[in-house]
Amino acid sequence: MNWYKYSSPTAFYPLAGKLIPWFAVPATLLFIIGLYLGFFVAPTDAQQGDAYRIIFIHVPAAWMGMFLYVLMAFYAAIGWAFNARLASMMASSLAITGAMFTFLSLVTGALWGKPTWGTYWVWDARMTSTLILLFLYIGFISLQAAIDDVRRADRAGALVAIVGVINVPIIYYSVQWWNTLHQGATLRLLGKPSMDQSMLLPMLIVLAACWLYSVAVVLQRLRCIILEREQQAAVAAEVV
Amino acid sequence: MDWSNFFSMGGYAFYVWGSYTVSLVAIAAEVIFLARRKKNLLKRSASHVNISGSTFK
């Protein structure tokens, strides 16, 4: 099978369509299983009571926000460096879902902060850098929307995306580098997680669900972008 | 399982259910907007016959 042909948007379009259910269905199931375990199996926390249950959506949302940004910058860079249209379209598609998850991590974080810290918001390193992440997504999306020539829009977006990548390790290490109100990392790249198994498992399942969900919606949006650009090209051809 | 305990979340109902409601609404909105975008596109592409020799379904 010649996989290379799928780098062409028109060839990729039907393939993406076939792939979507394989991500959307397990995503739905894992959301249900994860939240069931999180609400009905995981015990009440000794310190935070039931308020801690926000973690099952807060941490996955925060992870997806950061992860999708890195992925978006990666595709944007590939699209720019190799003049690969499909990779640039993938970057545009990732931006909306990444912004959505970043927004959710901020809102759920605020709703968790109020009962545990006594405030919805403080300008500390973790929260401020996450807010900057949301602004980077919004900047990327609005910059692309403002430029008519799609390939120029792709390159301008890529520049913002690549420069903004520096913010992701800042968010990740902010709780170590600065004295912040936010607690340390729940999941660590190296070493044991700072959480009991019965609470960790639902969070990881919801994380997997968010990941599968993201693949499904990003592929579907990619299909829309492919169609839109084909239509624009067709309209342009008629005008000429 | 005591349902009134479940709904009150030990007094944190507003924060816990608030978080999950916002999340559900955001995800549902993304899915609905995407479905609409697709529908409108397909309607328009039907009027542009067979763009660049390819058919989209």
ipTM of the predicted structure? 0.89
pTM for this model (two decimals): 0.91
Residue A76: partners with Cβ closer than 8 Å, 6 or more residues away: A87, A88, A91, A154, A157, A158, A161, A162
Alpha carbon distance A45, A199 (integer Å):
9
The label of the residue with tokens 């992925």 reads: A71
CB contact under 8 A, B34 and A39: no
Our CA-based measurement puts residue B32 at a distance from the nearest CA of chain A, in whole angstroms, of: 11
Q: What is the pLDDT of residues B18-42, one digit of tens each?
A: 999 999 999 999 999 999 999 999 8
pLDDT higher than 70, residue A119: yes
Q: Answer for the pair A179, A188: CB distance below 8 angstroms, yes or no.
A: no
The label of the residue with tokens 């299983």 reads: A33
- What is the model's pLDDT at position A165? 96
Alpha carbon distance A212, A64 (integer Å):
11
Q: Indicate the average pLDDT of chain A.
A: 92
Q: What is the pLDDT of residues A68-81, one digit of tens each?
A: 999 999 999 999 99
Closest to A34 (Cα-Cα) out of A213, A219, A220 = A213
Left, alpha or beta for B50 (phi > 0: left; psi -120 to 50: alpha)? left
Our CA-based measurement puts residue B15 at a distance from the nearest CA of chain A, in whole angstroms, of: 5
- A88 pLDDT band (50/70/90 cuts)? very high
- What is the model's pLDDT at position A42? 93
Q: Is B45 strand, coil or helix?
A: helix
- A108 and chain B in contact, CB less than 8 A: yes
Q: What is the pLDDT of residues A186-238, one digit of tens each?
A: 766 566 666 788 899 999 999 999 999 999 999 999 999 999 998 888 887 77
